[in-house]
């Protein structure tokens, strides 16, 4: 089923929001809610990059491990990481141990600190408050012109592991677009 589904609690949700118990709270309390601070956007960007090629559920279940490993995703602290930190992270089973993604997380912290106006201001320039509404998950795009432009802007400033699909996932997660299905109780910011 790819339309909103009624949960046991009587609330309709996007189907992925009921596909595993871990998803219910994430769907209801976080996904699609506006994130307007640099550190919050940086965390989501890093997690979306780590998710590339993997299940979001894997990342969600390791989220606290990521937070501990990357100093709460404080860009100033992560930007100071060196080779020893990379080796420490490569040995940390609490996160996804992928050197390219770890290196990108460090590079993205440095890029975020150098980004004129900051990461949140940059990302929110690409927000679409009038994004289309979808009734079926099959209609939700993997990327949009806005996510292509956001990815291009971030890459221009030195960000890595942020293509149009990752940028769109960031936009969805941080409320820059509302991709909760029309039948979902969270659609429209509810």
Tens-digit pLDDT profile for residues 19-57: 898 999 999 999 999 999 999 999 999 999 999 989 999
| Residue ranges of the chain whose pLDDT lies below 50 | none
184 annotated among ligand-binding-site residues: yes
Give the pLDDT of residue 131: 81
Q: What region does 19 belong to: left with phi over 0, alpha with psi -120 to 50, or beta? A: alpha
Strand-pair partners of 13? 5
Contact 109, 38 (CB under 8 A): no
Contact 99, 86 (CB under 8 A): yes
Q: Is 124 marked active-site?
A: no
Q: What is the pTM of this model?
A: 0.94
Q: Is 48 marked active-site?
A: yes
Give the pLDDT of residue 128: 84
Give the pLDDT of residue 188: 87
Q: Is 16 marked active-site?
A: no
Residue among 23, 31, 56, 134 flagged as catalytic? 56
Rounded CA separation 59/73 (Å)? 14
174 annotated among ligand-binding-site residues: no
27 annotated among ligand-binding-site residues: yes
Rounded CA separation 108/166 (Å)? 14
Give the pLDDT of residue 129: 75
Give the pLDDT of residue 1: 60
CA distances from 125 to 117, 144, 149, 150, 176 (A): 11, 14, 10, 9, 9
Residue among 23, 31, 42, 48 flagged as catalytic? 48
Residue among 16, 26, 143, 153 flagged as catalytic? 26
Residue ranges in the chain assigned as alpha helix (H): 21-29, 38-51, 56-61, 63-69, 75-79, 83-90, 99-114, 119-124, 145-156, 164-173
Domains of the chain: 38-174 (1.10.340.30)
Give the pLDDT of residue 172: 96
Give the pLDDT of residue 190: 61
Q: Is the dihedral angle over the CA atoms 28, 118, 154, 49 positive or is it negative?
A: negative
Give the pLDDT of residue 14: 95
180 annotated among ligand-binding-site residues: yes
């Amino acid at each position: 089923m790819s339309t909103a589904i009624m949960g046991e609690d009587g609330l309709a949700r996007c189907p992925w929001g009921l596909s595993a118990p871990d998803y219910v709270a994430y769907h209801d309390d976080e996904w699609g809610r506006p994130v307007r601070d640099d550190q919050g956007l940086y965390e989501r960007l890093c997690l979306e990059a780590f998710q590339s090629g993997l299940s979001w559920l894997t990342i969600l279940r390791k989220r606290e491990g990521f937070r501990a490993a990357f100093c709460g995703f404080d860009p100033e602290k992560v930007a100071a990481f060196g080779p020893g930190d990379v080796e420490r992270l490569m040995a940390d089973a609490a996160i996804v141990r992928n050197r390219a993604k770890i290196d990108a997380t460090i590079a993205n912290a440095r890029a975020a600190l150098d980004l004129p106006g900051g990461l949140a201001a940059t990302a929110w320039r690409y927000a679409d408050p009038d994004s289309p509404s979808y009734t079926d998950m099959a209609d939700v795009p993997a990327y949009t012109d806005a996510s292509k432009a956001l990815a291009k802007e971030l890459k221009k400033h030195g960000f890595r592991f942020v293509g149009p699909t990752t940028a769109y996932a960031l936009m969805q997660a941080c409320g820059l677009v509302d991709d909760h299905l029309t039948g979902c109780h969270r659609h429209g910011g509810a």
